[in-house]
Amino acid sequence: MSATTTLSRERAAPRRRDAEATRAAILEAAKTHFARSGYDHAALRDIAADAGCDVALIKRYFGGKDALFVEALKASFHPDRLREWDRRAFPRDAAIMLANAAPIGEEPTHSFQFLLRTATSPTTAPLLNLAMQERFLAPIRDWLGGEDAPARARVMAAVYIGFLVERLIREKPLRGRERDVFIDRVTAIFEAMIAPSP
C-alpha cells in the first residue's frame, strides 16, 4: 500500500492512472511476499492483488518474475543503517536484539527473512551473490575498516545471518538465565569479530 508517492506534488492532478505509483506498489508488495514466502511460493497473482492491479502489469513494468525478484532484493536492503550503529554499543545491542523475539513481518527482520529465503533456494542463490557483495559485505567491510576487513566482514556477516536464522526458527522466547548467557556469549563473539587483527 501507500501507493501515493510524494514526488511531483506540483502536478496537482490526482490522476488515477499512475504508472510510477503502480510500479512502486508492485515492488512493495513483492518485497513483502518474497520475504514471507520465498521466491517459489510467492505468486505473482497475489503480489498483483496486493498492489491493486493486474498480473500483466508486472510483466510490463518488470519483465518477469526473475527481474521483479532482483529488484525487490536490491530494494530490500538498507545497508546505510549500519553506519548509525555505534561501534562500542553494537555487540551488546545486537545481542539483545537477537535474544528478543522476532515479530513476524516487522521491519528489521523483513530484509533478512528475504535474505534467508534467497540463500536457501537454488533458484535464487546465484542472484544473492551480487546483492550480498554490494549491499551486505561491502558496507560491513567499510564499517569495520582496518586490517583484513574483507575476511572479518565475511565472518561477521555469516555469524549474523546464523543468529537471524536461529531467531527465525526459535520456538519460544528466551528467558531467565538462558537469555542472559545467550546475550553474554553473543556479545563476546561480536566483540571478538569487531576487534582488529593483532
Partner DNA sequence: GACCCAAGTCAACCATGATTGACATCTTGC
Partner DNA sequence: GCAAGATGTCAATCATGGTTGACTTGGGTC
Q: How big is the site for DNA, counted in residues (CB under 7 A)? A: 23
Q: Is 17 in the site for DNA (CB under 7 A)?
A: yes
Cα separation, 77 vs 97, whole angstroms: 18
Q: DSSP state, 134?
A: I
Q: Is 103 in the site for its own copies (CB under 8 A)?
A: no
Among 50-58, 61-69, 84-92, 123-131, the segment contacting its own copies (CB under 8 A):
123-131
Torsion of CA 190, 112, 107, 181, to 10 degrees: -30
- Binding-site member from 27, 29, 35, 42 for DNA (CB under 7 A): 42
> CB count, 10 Å around CB of 127?
17
Q: Is 143 in the site for its own copies (CB under 8 A)?
A: no
Interaction partner, residue 17 (its own copies, DNA, none; CB < 5-8 Å by kind): DNA
Cα separation, 57 vs 4, whole angstroms: 17
Closer residue to its own copies in complex, CB, 23/152: 152
- Contact present, 111 and 78 (Cβ < 8 Å): yes
- Contact present, 115 and 161 (Cβ < 8 Å): yes
Among 49-57, 58-66, 67-75, 149-157, the segment contacting its own copies (CB under 8 A):
149-157
Interaction partner, residue 102 (its own copies, DNA, none; CB < 5-8 Å by kind): none
How distant, in Å, are the alpha carbons of 15, 30, 47, 113, 151 from that of 24? 15, 10, 12, 21, 36
Minimum CB separation from DNA for residue 23, in Å? Answer: 8
Q: Is 55 in the site for DNA (CB under 7 A)?
A: yes
Cα separation, 86 vs 89, whole angstroms: 5
Q: Is 45 in the site for DNA (CB under 7 A)?
A: yes
Cell 538462558 belongs to 178
Residues that bind its own copies (CB under 8 A): 36-38, 40-41, 116-117, 119-123, 125, 128-129, 132-133, 148, 150-152, 154-155, 157-163, 165-166, 168-169, 171, 174, 177-179, 181-182, 185-186, 188-189, 192-193, 197
